[in-house]
Amino acid sequence: MRVEVDRARCRGAGQCALHAPELFDQSEDDGMVVVLDDRPAPTLRAKARLAARLCPNSVIRVVGDEPDEG
């Protein structure tokens, strides 16, 4: 799994950083999304998918996602 973002479309709502702080933060300069880990461990993949779903501007994209085992 890889996480991609389109910073140009980000509005700084912060839902990603709120729900997946291990993976996302917000820039102190402009408040836009900052990806902390673009290849999350299996234990964080559900959080990456949640952040992508909750982003009001749909700027987060999960690529090569496979269902979690278990």
Say what the pLDDT of residue 59 is: 98
CATH number of the domain that residue 15 is part of: 3.30.70.20
Instruction: Calculate the CA dihedral of residues 5, 47, 49, 44 and round it to 10 degrees.
Output: 90
pLDDT band at 38 (very low <50, low <70, confident <90, very high): very high
At 67 the three-state DSSP class reads coil
Alpha-carbon gap, residue 32 to 54, rounded angstroms: 15
Q: How many structural domains compose the chain?
A: 1
pLDDT band at 67 (very low <50, low <70, confident <90, very high): low
pTM exceeds cut of 0.85: yes
Whether 70 is in a domain gets the answer: no
Structure tokens at 39: 């290849």
Residue 33 backbone zone (phi > 0: left; psi -120 to 50: alpha; other: beta) = beta
Whether 67 is in a domain gets the answer: no
Q: Which domain holds residue 10?
A: 2-61
Q: What is the average per-residue pLDDT within 1-9?
A: 96
Whether 68 is in a domain gets the answer: no
pLDDT at 30 over 70: yes
